[in-house]
Structure 1
Amino acid sequence: MHSLLTKREKEIFTLLTKSQSTRQIADSLCISEKTVRNHISNVIQKLGVDSRIQAVLELIKMKEIDF
């Protein structure tokens, strides 16, 4: 089955479910905070939702990420 998310998007949203901040995610993945925000924005756009929280909830419902 093809995933809606890229590998990196999945990593970022999985870390979001663990209550990590943008800075913590950037540090743990060795990327910039801007890159993290860009990935989050891309997923929000893909899903047609308004916030990262809504995106997390949708991705859990769709079984794209675990909680």
Structure 2
Amino acid sequence: MVCTKREAEVFNYLIQNYSTKEIAALMGISDKTVRNHISNVILKLNVSSRTQAMLELIRLNQLKIDG
């Protein structure tokens, strides 16, 4: 598992097109904490953007696209 439960939760909201501020409100955490979770995953995956992180998490079967 690459992500913590909270990091995965953030990326599940991101893939649904929620903004950082919306995610913070939904999770009851600060905007900065959401950005930290995103940055941590980007570092763990050794990618350069949140979009690349989402694609890599999908590839690793850690993130699903509901369709």
The two structures, once aligned, show a CA RMSD in angstroms of: 0.5
| Match for residue 18 of structure 1 among 16, 19, 35 | 16
Name the residue aligned to 1:62.
Answer: 60
Matches within 5 A, 1:1-67: 3-67=1-65
The TM-score, its normalising length taken from structure 2, stands at: 0.95
The residue identity in structure 2 corresponding to 1:66 is: K
Where do 5+ consecutive residues of structure 1 fail to align? Answer: none
The TM-score, its normalising length taken from structure 1, stands at: 0.95
The residue identity in structure 1 corresponding to 2:60 is: M
Of all paired residues, the percent bearing the same amino acid is: 54
Distance 2:33 2:52 in 1: 20
Where do 5+ consecutive residues of structure 2 fail to align? Answer: none
1:4 partner SS: coil
CA-to-aligned-CA distance 1:4-62 (integer Å, 9 cap, x gap): 11000010000000000000000000000000000000000000000000000000011
What stretches of structure 1 move > 4 A for 4+ residues in a row? none
How many residue pairs align between the two structures? 65
